[in-house]
Structure 1
Amino acid sequence: MKKKTRKKIGNLVLKATLLITGGISIFIISVRLGLWGSIPNMKEVQELSQYEASEIYDVNDELIGKFYLSNRQPIPYSDIPQHTIDALLATEDVRFYDHNGIDTKSLFRVFFKTILMQDASSGGGSTITQQLAKNLFSRENYGFLTLPVVKTKEMIVARRLEKNYSKKEIIELYFNTVPFSGNTYGIESAALKYFNKKTIELTPTEAATLIGTLKATYTYDPNRFPERNIKRRNIVLHQMHKYEFLTDTEYKKHIQDSLKLDYGHYDEQHGLAPYFREELRNKMLAWCKENKTKDAPYNLYTSGLKIYTTLDKTLQQYAEEAIKEHLGKLQKTFEKEYGKSAPWLTNEALVTSIVKKTQAYKKLKAKDLSEEATLDSLSVKRKMWLYDIDGKKEVAASTIDSVQHYLKFLNAGMLSIDPQSGAIKSWIGGVDFEHFKYDHVKKSKRQVGSTFKPIVYTTALEQGVKPCDYFSAREVEYENMEGWSPSNSGDVDEKYLNYSLQTALTKSINTVSVKVLEEAGIENTIALAEKLGITSTLPKVPSLALGTAELSVSEMAGAYAAYVNDSKPVSPYYLLKVENKKGELLEEFKQKDTLQPAFSEITRQIMIEMMQSVVNNGTASRMRHTYGLRNDIAGKTGTTQSNKDAWFVSVMPKLVTVTWVGNDDHRIGFKTTRTGQGANAALPIAAKLFQKMNKDTTFNSITKARFKTPNATVVEMLDCEPTKRDGFFKRLFTNPDKKKKSNFKTKKN
């Protein structure tokens, strides 16, 4: 090649280099000047503000849920284990401590290998600081120039981050903002989601599992693609070994580990206490509207509030397990007893009434379709997922099939409270929040059956009736009540026996309860119920004695608390305090003890003894002979007409638990009393809960608590034979097969 030619080529290369360099420089300057959109300035970099999830804590400061747009839970650098940091550095940026935000060596490697040589294995050139910039400030679309523009912006921001933050602070910011799958941001949220533990508790293998997902959060999601994730995790471990973060022994050990997920749900549909969290969400939304920061109201989903509640996480878990265990078996019995005659299969009017409430029906009717055409359309089968007691199942079903399917399910409501304060310890509004949104603690009111009888008996004692007063169990037809004639079920001798007050409650004898109400007075009974905190309207009829009143689970819990709280009812509550994201107190919720004693101490002691008899010898004796519980427990079962509602209220010295079981649609009851009675449908849930608590020594203060010994006067008042037989002449002149006719006496106050 001639010298002149070489010189000419050299000049061309020089000009091209200068042109390219100049063009790149002009491009970088244009980006820096904001011609391609704004770049976070120094002040914005210094005042980083990220959306933070609001966190829900139980009474022991255990996390039980979150409210969030982006599931983000920041933690300090000190809570990040060194092996987690090592996994990140080895995989994403091994020269992190040697560069100032931009790793020039990596950039040249990417440029020559990836761009010029098309070598996809060369890796990326973004440093952890650049990735942090990407996490903090969203990217925009600039067409074919998107990649060079955003990369340039991120390099500029990375340099600014390095000038304002130490390496430790950048690591902390990165771990708190990096996105994982499932709308989860930050290492703490990811650790809780996939391993149900805090970051500081992660093992090297678990840390590598999470760091491995950063390459492609969906592709390597350990829950969706476990095998793919393990391969990626092993690459992370290999990198840690390569850069001497792991010894040979450690590497060989960790690479053999299996993937053991403990998937924790914190979304609104799943996870612990979903009905409670929905109730809390509504309360906190109202609180946020009324409370402001310096500039604007708090946002439940982004302000990072810390919400402390009275709930006990472990007790809630035990309660949910107890309901699942019992209802799984009860549901099968319920369906088997009905067989092909089940109302959701044979009662067309019932099914149609529900179908007409569906959105699918309303949409078709809005198109002016006839009733026949609408129902025909809703009979067309398609693939859908349906809830079942054992999990979701994909089936071919129509909208009408779906309605019939969901009509058959039993539901439940359960509340446990501290009877001395009213603090709610567990809250279960139903069997599955995703498919049954109706909360049977917050919203439901159902007939309470015989669980109302203790209130009637308490009123009678206050009105002068003695525990050893006897009442005939004989059925009576009340002529002034349109011939109403309450009857008994079970082993009750109605012919000649008279039952003491205690025995009548123990056996839950209906005929006696109505006669006790006569002595107590309907008005007096309603007045006492109001003193016990019951606000629902009570029917002023004799059937009140049998529990025809419709009350909530919460009302029953607050009222029954009086029997172990110096005769004072309580108002159940669940919110303790709210803090901001820095842990500064915003509001504390103190409960005021405004409720006065509803009855005397003598009456209280008598009722506790009588309700213990219900558990020891009466309708709730399964607690003893079936479930082997030896705790101090008083209580009352309840079963309503046509077996529509099953109840059990248990009273322990330190815990009151109310359980209801039934169908969401009140038109559907149990087929038989044997299955639908409170002792069979509701009591086992409480029994299983107490069994679990008995095995956990952390609940000893509740499970080993004992009722106070009644005083001598009460012991004497209860010292009588359980039954008394009619005298000879009364038996002689009484026809046991003929109903006695009488008028229900209305007692004057």
Structure 2
Amino acid sequence: MSTSTSSKKTTRRKTNNILLLQKPWFKKVIKAVWILFLCVVIGVPLYVYTVKADLFGLFGGMPSLKSIENPQNDLSSELISADGVSLGRYFRYNRSQVAYEQLSPDLVNTLLLSEDHRFYDHSGMDFWAYPRVLWGLLTFNNRGGGSTITQQLAKNLFRTRGDELDGTLTRVGGPLKILVSKTKEWIISVQLEENYTKEEIITMYLNTAEFSSNAYGIKVAAETYFQKQPDSLNVLESAVLVGMLQNPSFYNPQRNPNNALRKRNEVLYKLYARNYIKSQAEHDSLKNIPIQLKFSVQNQNQGLATYFRSVLTSFLMKWCKDHNYDLWESGLKIYTTIDSRMQQFAEEAMAEHMSKLQKEFETQWKLKNSNPWTDSDTKAEIKNFLQRKIKKTETYKNLVARYGENSDSVNIMLNVKKPMTVFSWKGERDTLFSSMDSLRYYNWFLQAGMMSMDPETGAIKAWVGGINHKYFKYDHVKQGTRQPGSTFKPFVYGKAIEDGYSPCFELLDISPTIKVPGGVWNPPNSDGTYGSGEKMNLRVAMARSLNSVTAQLIAKVGPANVAKFANQLGISSPLDPVMSLALGTSDVSLYEMVSAYCSFVNLGMHIEPYYVTRIEDKNGNVIESFVPKTGQATDERTAYKMIYMLQGGVEEEGGSSRGISYSLKVDNEIGGKTGTTNDASDGWYMGITHNLVTGAWVGGDERTIHFPNWTFGQGSKTARPIWDKYMVKVYEHPEVGYGKGLFKRPASGLDIVLDCNRHNASDSTSVVPVEKEISLDDINN
């Protein structure tokens, strides 16, 4: 081509360009482009600035930079056992934090590849995703949002879609509110990226995400749906949970399994498409595996130590109020003395025995063709028992408020049958019950309580307050108090020994007649007789739980002194200083009884039971450590003599603890005391070893509910088997650290030889001053 030709073409092109620039429509296009450019370059930053500054209050406030640097997230407070196991949580939203190192690689990669595969390439906003989102909106083919993980975190942390950050414009709602909320998420996302590492953002996001079923955060979600910790989640489980992030309820695998399976498989395909799943065959294999749930919603009625957790709430709420924390949202770590393994043994022992005892209880009453609530005097069924009791319920009060107290509608509604799920020892069952049916059904159940404590440290190792916390809320360890029966007798004998009597001191098995205000007191023994007339020492008398000898002793030492002695050892309930106190007529709690028996095993040193060792804040800083209070209750020689006395129940002929399992006695020192109250309303057992003191109680919710005869309702049949089964389990697992052994001996030695088989009456009187010996005539006078 010649030079002249080329020059002509160039000239022609310039001429055409000049003509194009002169056209009106082209000028409009150029103007529009400049306006758009200026809007983007100047308008968008200006808009973002006005949102950030909340100009004229139009857009609503923004979280402060301080709150972004230190975001507050409501966290459940967690109870942790002595062996490091979570016992449960206190929560409004059940959430608990984990560190990045506690997230499985499968979980992290599934999250990133499915939700934000350019996460490590952006600084909070993924601009490459916005054209796709816009195209999806224009074509009505939504293929996912453009929010990054960081933006989702911003929404979770600061509730940008809620009303808390609303302004004048955003209160209008609709697209305008969404635009402003989205803008705030962009701003917060950039600030989050400036203040945190990518790993920290991933962790915070998973810790704040909702997973339905009252599970907030990946830790609780993994536990709720798979009974796992986040570091153990595999790719299938991770795909289920990551899939739930877009719509937790819709993709809930428990409620909507088909939706969840479809979503999980979509996530798996993304992992295959992005080469995390390496082959088509592997992808197809995984896709065909059904979702395998181990679903368990966490609440205060499930898990270990439910009664303990419930009772502990009042202590923790007071502590939190005094220290300016919110138990439900502060993320406290509460370290307890409870050993999860021993707690499991205790709950298993109670369930094993009570399920059989309940069957026997029902059999005995059905043979009598009667209900188990009976009058202690007439022995007949109490009429209108249920009618009187229903009036104390909220159901009755609500019906009265609706229909009026004398309306027939109240009675009609109380007897209307409706579907309900009820407790049974074979598992929950669905039935049709009226309110009256339900009341009658539940009043047929025997209740129980059990507590196990380390006598040297004061640490409570196991606490079972009832047979099922979901259906029976009342705690029978500390909340409930009942007559202890013969388990109170060791305090009478203990006071006598403190005053100088020997375990080998002898008295006649003859029930005294003692003058008391309003008449005389002449208690029979448990067999209904007033004694055999046999001479026996105190150890044998306590082993056989003879009322006759115990009555003589309280007359010698005085009921007021016995009450004071029991108080020193750990009984805090009011004790009536009357003669019948010897037989356990004043109500006490199982908690107090275990505490007091520990004073014997701890050689006279009373140590207050405690159940919290320390409390930490959400960052692991110790806020407070707890140390139990101690004090010398009686001298160590008296305490050890009482250990010897309690061993008599296991070793002496006719002792009430002779029937415990043989395996417990081998190479081991054990003491124990049974207790049974009038009409067998309460059955007790207190068992002691060198390093564990454990008490059990069994009875009805009402004192009028009991076995039809004393034989089946005595403590050796109702309560002792729980202790026995528990101790067998403890000894079968030496890893818990409570093996067999010998009781501690007094450092100063003993002032007598503790072997009553080598003593006769004259030997024992050499230990006790003559003036201490009181004849029956003296008692009567």
1:350–1:117 Cα change, 3 Å: same
1:11–1:381 Cα change, 3 Å: farther
Alignment-derived partner of residue 353 in structure 1: 388
**Counterpart AA for 2:211:** F
Alignment-derived partner of residue 33 in structure 1: 50
SS in 1 for 2:738: helix
Alignment-derived partner of residue 300 in structure 1: 327
SS in 1 for 2:673: strand
**Counterpart AA for 2:779:** K
Alignment-derived partner of residue 482 in structure 2: 446
Residue 718 (1) aligns with residue 756 (2): yes
Alignment-derived partner of residue 471 in structure 2: 435
Alignment-derived partner of residue 732 in structure 1: none
C-alpha contact 1:87 1:207 (8 A) present in aligned 2: yes
C-alpha contact 2:458 2:609 (8 A) present in aligned 1: yes
C-alpha contact 1:478 1:743 (8 A) present in aligned 2: no
Output the CA distance in 2 between the equivalents of 1:558 and 1:587: 24
Alignment-derived partner of residue 15 in structure 2: none
Alignment-derived partner of residue 354 in structure 2: 327
Structure 2: tracts of 5 or more residues without a match: 1-18, 52-57, 163-170, 375-380, 763-774
How many angstroms does 1:258 deviate by?
Answer: 6.5
Output the CA distance in 1 between the equivalents of 2:529 and 2:113: 78
Alignment-derived partner of residue 342 in structure 1: 371
Deviates more, 1:241-250 or 1:8-17: 8-17
Alignment-derived partner of residue 306 in structure 2: 274
C-alpha contact 2:607 2:629 (8 A) present in aligned 1: no
Alignment-derived partner of residue 140 in structure 2: 118
Output the CA distance in 2 between the equivalents of 1:743 and 1:237: 92
C-alpha contact 2:453 2:692 (8 A) present in aligned 1: yes
Output the CA distance in 2 between the equivalents of 1:569 and 1:746: 35
How many angstroms does 1:53 deviate by?
Answer: 2.1
Output the CA distance in 2 between the equivalents of 1:495 and 1:552: 33
CA deviations over 1:359-406 (Å, ceiling 9, x no partner): 232234345724352333322333333333344433332222222222
How many angstroms does 1:619 deviate by?
Answer: 1.8
Aligned residue runs from structure 1 range 556-595, under 5 A: 556-593=593-630, 595=631
How many angstroms does 1:423 deviate by?
Answer: 1.6
Output the CA distance in 1 between the equivalents of 2:647 and 2:289: 53
Aligned residue runs from structure 1 range 195-594, under 5 A: 195-225=226-256, 229-248=260-279, 261-263=293-295, 266-291=298-323, 297-339=324-366, 340-343=369-372, 347-366=382-401, 369-371=404-406, 373=408, 374-475=410-511, 478=514, 482=519, 484-489=521-526, 494-593=531-630
How many angstroms does 1:446 deviate by?
Answer: 0.5
SS in 2 for 1:703: coil
Output the CA distance in 1 between the equivalents of 2:689 and 2:521: 36
1:82–1:518 Cα change, 3 Å: same
Residue 692 (1) aligns with residue 729 (2): yes
Deviates more, 1:506-515 or 1:675-684: 506-515
Alignment-derived partner of residue 76 in structure 1: 99
How many angstroms does 1:198 deviate by?
Answer: 3.1
Structure 1: tracts of 5 or more residues without a match: 292-296, 725-740
Percent of paired sites with the same residue: 36
**Counterpart AA for 2:644:** E
Residue 104 (1) aligns with residue 127 (2): yes
**Counterpart AA for 2:244:** T
Output the CA distance in 2 between the equivalents of 1:95 and 1:270: 41
How many angstroms does 1:489 deviate by?
Answer: 3.6
Output the CA distance in 2 between the equivalents of 1:723 and 1:387: 56
SS in 2 for 1:556: helix
Which of the residues 600, 606, 610 maps onto 2:641?
606
SS in 2 for 1:73: coil
Deviates more, 1:604-613 or 1:228-237: 228-237
Which of the residues 56, 73, 80 maps onto 2:79?
56
Deviates more, 1:400-409 or 1:546-555: 400-409
Residue 671 (1) aligns with residue 708 (2): yes
Deviates more, 1:69-78 or 1:21-30: 21-30
CA deviations over 1:575-607 (Å, ceiling 9, x no partner): 2222222222222222333x1141451x33333
C-alpha contact 1:468 1:720 (8 A) present in aligned 2: no
Residue 191 (1) aligns with residue 229 (2): no
Output the CA distance in 1 between the equivalents of 2:547 and 2:242: 66
How many angstroms does 1:165 deviate by?
Answer: 2.9
1:698–1:204 Cα change, 3 Å: farther
C-alpha contact 1:466 1:717 (8 A) present in aligned 2: no
Deviates more, 1:420-429 or 1:393-402: 393-402
1:587–1:208 Cα change, 3 Å: same
1:325–1:234 Cα change, 3 Å: farther
Residue 166 (1) aligns with residue 189 (2): no
1:84–1:142 Cα change, 3 Å: farther
How many angstroms does 1:186 deviate by?
Answer: 1.7
Output the CA distance in 2 between the equivalents of 1:325 and 1:512: 36
1:653–1:611 Cα change, 3 Å: same
TM-score normalized with structure 1 length:
0.86
C-alpha contact 1:448 1:548 (8 A) present in aligned 2: yes
SS in 2 for 1:289: helix
Output the CA distance in 2 between the equivalents of 1:656 and 1:244: 60
CA deviations over 1:326-349 (Å, ceiling 9, x no partner): 222222222222124114696443
**Counterpart AA for 1:558:** S
SS in 1 for 2:632: coil
Alignment-derived partner of residue 55 in structure 2: none
1:332–1:238 Cα change, 3 Å: farther
Output the CA distance in 1 between the equivalents of 2:562 and 2:425: 41
Residue 651 (1) aligns with residue 698 (2): no
C-alpha contact 2:351 2:467 (8 A) present in aligned 1: yes
SS in 2 for 1:72: coil
Output the CA distance in 2 between the equivalents of 1:8 and 1:325: 94
CA deviations over 1:523-566 (Å, ceiling 9, x no partner): 33223212212222223333222211211112111110122212
Larger radius of gyration: 2
Output the CA distance in 1 between the equivalents of 2:30 and 2:760: 114
Output the CA distance in 1 between the equivalents of 2:298 and 2:242: 21
Output the CA distance in 1 between the equivalents of 2:257 and 2:730: 35
Output the CA distance in 2 between the equivalents of 1:540 and 1:43: 63
SS in 2 for 1:745: helix
Deviates more, 1:643-652 or 1:458-467: 458-467
SS in 2 for 1:692: helix
How many angstroms does 1:655 deviate by?
Answer: 1.1
Output the CA distance in 2 between the equivalents of 1:397 and 1:344: 21
Output the CA distance in 2 between the equivalents of 1:234 and 1:390: 38
SS in 2 for 1:623: coil
Output the CA distance in 1 between the equivalents of 2:393 and 2:496: 48
SS in 1 for 2:607: coil
- Number of residues of Structure 1 aligned to a counterpart in Structure 2: 717
**Counterpart AA for 1:357:** K
1:266–1:645 Cα change, 3 Å: same
Deviates more, 1:138-147 or 1:675-684: 138-147
How many angstroms does 1:500 deviate by?
Answer: 2.8
Output the CA distance in 1 between the equivalents of 2:659 and 2:27: 100
Output the CA distance in 1 between the equivalents of 2:752 and 2:225: 57
Which of the residues 114, 137, 152 maps onto 1:131?
152
CA deviations over 1:393-447 (Å, ceiling 9, x no partner): 3333222222222222222222111101212222222223333222222221110
Alignment-derived partner of residue 92 in structure 1: 115
Alignment-derived partner of residue 143 in structure 1: 173
C-alpha contact 2:342 2:462 (8 A) present in aligned 1: yes
Alignment-derived partner of residue 768 in structure 2: none
**Counterpart AA for 1:283:** F
How many angstroms does 1:72 deviate by?
Answer: 2.5
Alignment-derived partner of residue 727 in structure 1: none
C-alpha contact 1:478 1:744 (8 A) present in aligned 2: no
How many angstroms does 1:472 deviate by?
Answer: 3.2
SS in 1 for 2:577: coil
TM-score normalized with structure 2 length:
0.82
SS in 1 for 2:245: helix
